[in-house]
Amino acid sequence: MDNQKKIALIAGRDNWHTRDFPEEGIPVVTMSDGPHGLRVEKKAGIGFPQSVPAVAWPVLSALGCSFDTELIHEIGTALAEECIAEGVDVLLAPGINHKRNPLCGRNFEYFSEDPVVSGELGSAYVNGLQENGIGASLKHYAANSREEGRLVTDSIVEERTLHEIYLRAFDTVIHKAKPWTMMMAYNMLNGIYCCENEFLMNHARKEGFDGVFVSDWGGVSDPAASLIHGLNLIMPGNHHADAKVQEALEKGILSQDKLDESVRCISDLAKKVSHHSPKPYDIQKHLDLALKAAEESIVLLKNDGVLPVKKEQSFLLVGNLLKMSNHGGNGSSKVEAISVDHVTDIFDKRKINYAFYSGKSIEKTIRLAKEKDIVIIGAGYYENEESEGYDRKNMRLSSHQNRLIRELCNNHDHVIVVIQTGSPVEMPWKEDAEGILYMNLTGCRGGSALTNILFGMTCPSARLAETFPQKLEDVPSYAHFSDNPHQMEYREGIFTGYRYYDTFDIPVNYGFGHGLSYTHFSYSDLKTGDYSVSFTLKNDGDYDARNTVCLYIGFKDSSITRAAKELKAFQSVYLKKGEEKRIVFNLDESMFQYYDIQKHDWMIEEGMYQLMIGGAVNEIFLQTEMYHEGIQNPYSSIQKEFYEFSEGKLHIEKASFEKMLGRQIPQFKNNIDADSSLKDLELHTFRFLAKVLSKKKELLPGVRLSTIQETPLRQILMADQKITWETIDGMVELLNGMPVKGIKKVLKSLKSSRL
Ligand code: GLC
């Protein structure tokens, strides 16, 4: 295979295909989004054009609350069948990024605030796909925690935090499922773009990853540097990377070996994927599984006796979300659902005695409510409020929804609130509502699943995989999430999610792992065995039900700063009423390890560990201790005294964070280059250009203006085949005050690319 073909192979052919060289035995690889169901575009286009109708699965944020690895494995298998039916070889999923802040626009696409949950469920998802011949693309590697400025933001993370929180789930999936591809994130990590971050890619290789590192779409800032540092495949195609790669090869800065390694990875993938001939799948079987998944994902947060409701009662359903369920989020994971069960449709089908009202007028709502036994109000976000490409500005429901819920609760004794969002919201009416269900975004069967839970046909079993804080200011990353468009300082370190709230006793609305049931489980007879713990779980209530049991481990007397406890393992168990089962957690060393930044490796500190059996992190039923051998006096740069509080809010000085980092935070240099965005240009003399462009409303259909303003110059490569890297270079020269040189280069590049 000559170098011309090799250079062609490392960049895609178009948005969704690699290049194929049949004469070299390298078939094409067809890729498609997404994690919640197939988004196969009817025709390629900018933004997110219309896609082929598909089964809309619950979003990963919902599935994370199931804690059910077997269920997720079944969904992976079903998705593989759907891929085969559509001729897709690699599904661009799952996204397993850590949920650092509830405002992140893509939180609905990620499993959890805990790396064990994300790693175990991510592994099950990948295995389900790949055991059926469809490749996964584990994403977005790594520390992709914000949508604002996502293509140019530098995630600044201290080493122990990086390993224990942000890489841990990726490591687990590499160990347990060996994904065939990993998608490199748009952002920088500690100053280097992920697509050219040798540390990141070498780390994954050391953990055993032997697949293809593929860029996120348009995520490459420097094609040659990316290939040199380990990236294998640049997507999408028409990126004209070949000229830059060719030049680097000829100059010897890209070695032949490196190029050949990428070619080998891509050709291995091309041969590995099943290339099944498309065959239909059993839609009803998938819809039934989607129902089971939705039922296992809906969390019962509060029940003062109103649930389950009875068919002979009368109901007022309030809110358009009960008439038009919000089954998923916006962006590349969006699915054109082949069908959606809306709650009112299901109530109709089951001939339940109800009335519906949008809730537009509060007075009218209260008047209607007085005629009914139970009020069920659907509250949440509408389609474009949670999306890839931008973050939420607050954690509140709309003021109308909050007012409506409060007024209803003041005027009716039996109000059930159903929350349809993919991430936590504030609940000022929490004490007033008699029942609260977190429905999340539960795909095409959500309406049936909710109805089954409301009427007790299914017993709720889900647990929160992400904490519901009382207010946004309580979130540990609050002060350092959207304070800087170019850098994001992870100053909270390992104290993220429940690791923060539980350790620093910060009150929350509902904690990690919280989830009620209609039945009751008892936990007894805890024993430690040979590197294991076991106990008896009994369903001593009135419903057959599933229950997730959790093993948390703490180390009170540690000589380094640690979270009070951490989830180390969980099991989802189904018990009929009256049934009991002996549960065994086999231990392994990884459960006792911390990441040592002097040894740059995982170590175990010697001492007495606390082993806790619980549900929620603040709901420990059984506890014991176990002494573990290990090293003495370990070191960590994270010190508890760095964590100060002023007016109830966490505050970490920049100097303290730099001590954690072991280096100074680099000053962002706003040079004009291919990574400059319209916003950056506004700070320069090209204010007029940026203002003119950013004032135009719908520059791209369906793409928010802020997203365009934050997009780097190089992204216009994706807009038109005729634009090449040379065009970009010419524009940069022009913007840097060399108009003649720049315009000549732009014109020459456009002329040559037309040829
Ligand atoms: C998007 C997303 C990624 C998706 C890809 C293809 O920008 O970041 O998750 O798979 O591009 O649509």
Which residues lie below 8 Å from residue 634, measured CB to CB, with a gap of 6+?
559, 560, 594, 596, 603, 605
440 and 422 Cβ atoms separated by less than 8 Å: yes
Six-digit token string for 293: 């998944």
Give the percent of the chain with pLDDT over 90: 86
718 C-alpha vs ligand 1 centroid, how far in Å? 13
Cβ of 216 less than 6 Å from ligand 1: yes
Length of the chain: 755
For residue 107, is pLDDT > 90? yes
- The residue among 156 and 687 whose pLDDT is bigger is 156
533 C-alpha vs ligand 1 centroid, how far in Å? 42
Q: pLDDT at position 683, please?
A: 65
676 and 689 Cβ atoms separated by less than 8 Å: no
Task: Specify the ligand 1 atom closest to the Cα of 140.
Answer: 9
Dist CA 108 CA 59 (whole Å): 6
- Cα of 724 vs its chain's centroid, Å: 32
482 and 148 Cβ atoms separated by less than 8 Å: yes
216 C-alpha vs ligand 1 centroid, how far in Å? 6
Q: Which CATH superfamily is domain 3-272 in?
A: Glycoside hydrolase, family 3, N-terminal domain (3.20.20.300)
Q: pLDDT at position 722, please?
A: 83
Q: pLDDT at position 45, please?
A: 67
Cβ of 217 less than 6 Å from ligand 1: yes
698 and 684 Cβ atoms separated by less than 8 Å: no
Dist CA 63 CA 709 (whole Å): 33
Residue identifier of the C-alpha nearest atom 5 of ligand 1: 217
**Nearest Cα to Cα of residue 217 among 130, 270, 151:** 151
223 C-alpha vs ligand 1 centroid, how far in Å? 18
Q: pLDDT at position 671, please?
A: 87
219 C-alpha vs ligand 1 centroid, how far in Å? 9
Q: Where are the domains of the chain?
A: 3-272, 294-466, 520-637, 678-753
117 C-alpha vs ligand 1 centroid, how far in Å? 23
**Dihedral of alpha carbons 77, 79, 83, 88, sign:** negative
Task: Specify the ligand 1 atom closest to the Cα of 217.
Answer: 11
For ligand 1, pick from 92, 220, 335 the residue to mutate: most ligand atoms within 8 Å of CB. 92
- Cα of 467 vs its chain's centroid, Å: 15
Q: What is the pTM of this model?
A: 0.97
Residue type, 542: D
Cβ of 139 less than 6 Å from ligand 1: yes
Q: pLDDT at position 541, please?
A: 97
Cβ of 185 less than 6 Å from ligand 1: no
Q: Which of these ranges, 16-25, 299-308, 577-586, 666-675, has the smallest mean pLDDT?
A: 666-675
Residue identifier of the C-alpha nearest atom 6 of ligand 1: 217
**pLDDT tens figures, 31-56:** 999 999 999 987 766 667 788 999 99
CATH of domain 520-637: 2.60.40.10
Average pLDDT over residues 276-302: 96
- The residue among 276 and 69 whose pLDDT is bigger is 69
**pLDDT tens figures, 166-224:** 999 999 999 999 999 999 999 999 999 999 999 999 999 999 999 999 999 999 999 99
Q: pLDDT at position 646, please?
A: 87
Residue identifier of the C-alpha nearest atom 11 of ligand 1: 217
**Nearest Cα to Cα of residue 57 among 330, 346, 286:** 286
For residue 302, is pLDDT > 70? yes
For ligand 1, pick from 214, 332, 333 the residue to mutate: most ligand atoms within 8 Å of CB. 332
Dist CA 436 CA 58 (whole Å): 19
Give the percent of the chain with pLDDT over 70: 96
CA dihedral (218, 223, 228, 232) in degrees, to 10, reads 50
Average pLDDT over residues 458-482: 97
Q: pLDDT at position 277, please?
A: 86
- Residue 205 has φ and ψ, to the nearest 5°, of -60, -45
Q: Is 483 considered catalytic here?
A: no
Average pLDDT over residues 711-735: 88
Cβ of 163 less than 6 Å from ligand 1: no
The CB-side HSE value for 30 (13 A sphere, CA atoms) comes to 17
CATH of domain 294-466: 3.40.50.1700
- Binned at pLDDT 50, 70 and 90, residue 685 comes out as low
Among 216, 341, 474, 675, the one annotated catalytic? 216
Dist CA 696 CA 714 (whole Å): 20
Cβ of 109 less than 6 Å from ligand 1: no
726 C-alpha vs ligand 1 centroid, how far in Å? 25
For residue 294, is pLDDT > 70? yes
Dist CA 711 CA 705 (whole Å): 10
- Binned at pLDDT 50, 70 and 90, residue 689 comes out as low
- The chain-wide mean pLDDT, for the chain, equals 94
- Residue 30 has φ and ψ, to the nearest 5°, of -100, 125
Cβ of 492 less than 6 Å from ligand 1: no
Q: pLDDT at position 718, please?
A: 81
Task: Specify the ligand 1 atom closest to the Cα of 332.
Answer: 12
Q: pLDDT at position 706, please?
A: 79
Q: pLDDT at position 50, please?
A: 81
